Amino acid sequence: MAYVFNKDVTNKTDAIIGRWMSTENNLEVEIFRSGNEYKAKVVWFDDNDDKSKPMSIRLDEKNPVKTLRGQRIIGLEVMHGLIYNESDNEWQGGKIYDSSSGKNGTPKPGFQMMEL
């Protein structure tokens, strides 16, 4: 499973660290290193779908774990377990959580986000 990010760098190990925008321009995440893996948290999302629930107070209401439905989406960890395999020269593994559907999954090959 490989991941494609629109960023050209020479030091690829931490190349993914930073803020990234989805290709749909509706979600911004901050990717950070935690030990040997990389994680991401939500820092912005387009809340035009429901103006009665602005981004600053919107909760993770569709989370399949009922006790987690009270957590705010801003700051929510939505990716974990991503690693950079130097011998294969690619990003591998990882799980992504989609708060809009409440589903967990593995990013598809070619998963793309644009660096901010």
Domain residue ranges in the chain: 18-115
- pTM here? 0.82
pLDDT at 52: 93
Residue with tokens 């107070």: 57
Q: How many angstroms separate the CA atoms of 103 and 70, rounded?
A: 16
- Measured on CA atoms in the order 87, 12, 109, 94, is the torsion positive or negative? positive
Q: Which residue, chain included where needed, has tokens 């509706």?
A: 26
Residue 73 confidence (pLDDT): 97
Q: Supply the pLDDT for residue 116.
A: 56
Q: What is the pLDDT of residue 6?
A: 47
Q: Which amino acid is at 8?
A: D
pLDDT tens for the 116 residues of the chain, in order: 334 454 444 457 788 899 988 888 889 999 999 999 999 999 999 999 999 999 999 999 999 999 999 999 999 999 999 998 888 888 888 999 999 999 998 876 545 555 55
- What's the one-letter identity of residue 85? N
Q: Are 104 and 9 in contact (CB under 8 A)?
A: no
Q: What is 18-115's CATH topology?
A: Lipocalin (2.40.128)
Q: Kindly report the number of other CB atoms within 10 A of residue 57's CB atom.
A: 11
Distance (Å, whole) CA 90 – CA 115: 17
